Structure 1
Amino acid sequence: MSKILKVENLNKTYRSGNHDLTVLKDVSFEIAEGETFAIVGPSGSGKTTLLGLCAGLDVSQSGNIWLCGQNLTSMTEDERALLRNRHVGFVFQDFQLLPTLTALENVVVPFELQGAGRSSLERGKELLKKVGLGDRFHHYPSQLSGGEQQRVALARAFSNRPSILFADEPTGNLDGETGAKIEQLLFELNKELGTALVIVTHDLELAQKTNRSLRLRSGSMEQMAL
């Protein structure tokens, strides 16, 4: 099975006052197509930073990241954005829905960026139905519960049929019952569409449901659990 993501000797440092703060130290791992993978660790361990680097949202000081066969390190910001638009889905902990757009309009935003036509509306409706929001097409985020907003965000993340989906604490702002439903949807869509799934989470029970997990502590790899 080919690799959808390969991270090699990754380092990330931020400037804090007169000092350099190292957030990631020599992190390396690989993820195969269709695989489910968790990144776990305490707050401040570098999990979200690592996720952003892997998705091409940020750049590292050293090391390499190959995403869908392309080296993010050698790409421009515009090239990384184009790669994300074509191959990457991202689910944020705080949903990041556009408040002036309906649920359906939020889901079809990626299609609009690709210049898709009317078929995008049908695809958006199909995805909202898959996540149980077939009766919420025309509701705005303010009219939806937290769980419903996360479902919209999940439908949007899968709208471009991504090769890989990154989810940053996708159940972190939800109650236990709602979070469990979101977890189930993530794995169902992963299986149905063959999308590789990378989850940052504090929830060890959720991490144990993935094929493999990477544990970070103070920016360093602590262990790889098979």
Structure 2
Amino acid sequence: MMSNPTGQGFHCFHCGLRLAPGTVQCPRCGAPQNLAWPSQGGQPPLPVAEEPLHPAVTAIITVFFGLFGLIPCLISTSRAKRLNRTTRPYWLAFWIPETLWLLLVAFLVIGMIAGFGILAREAGGNPGGEPNPAASVSSYPTTAPSATSSEALSWPVGATECSPTVAAGSERTSCEFALNVADAWERSPRGETQTVEAYSPVTGQDYTMTCASVSGYTTCTGGNDAVVYIRG
């Protein structure tokens, strides 16, 4: 049985809450109160609750170790609650340094990512440390093609261009056949007049074409009234 000779109540062994005489269990922390009071002078001894850690302890640990500052913060808030004190200073001592710490880490990460991106762009745009060809512009003037060159000549009237160097010169000449004639002409020996054999995918037949240089073009005629113009 408890010893309470004064009949004035007592304090909880665990949390220090003032209890009424005869209380067997603390309503705050649930600690049993059925131990005999060691009395001194007719008064039960009052338990001494532990003091919370100073907020500076939490702040220092948080600054250097980040989230590990939460450990002293929780210890301090728990002790403050037992003493019916506010927990605000201990939470502030944790969250203010922690927020600054997280911002610093975020800035460092963003800076590293940006730095790696710049290095990657420089390495990709100038591999091997060689001068960037796109950055240097030649100071030598370019020479425009002469008006009398073969590329400056326009196709004869009625010709249909099949490629930059080949044109079909009549309605009965298909581009497929004209390109085959030009290919056969390229592979044949040069002379003032050349005779080539070319296949027409349209008719499925081979035709003989006679080619000669006329007015800056090589003009090939023959087959079924076919006409082919070749530049170069």
Is TM-score (shorter-chain normalized) higher than 0.5? no
Kindly indicate whether structure 1 or structure 2 has the higher relative contact order, using CA contacts under 8 Å at least 6 residues apart: 1
Name whichever structure is richer in strand by fraction. Answer: 1
Please indicate the TM-score interval, normalised by the length of the shorter structure.
Answer: under 0.3
Query: Max radius of gyration: which structure?
Result: 2
With structure 1 as the length reference, what TM-score do the two structures score?
A: 0.18
TM-score, normalised relative to structure 2: 0.18
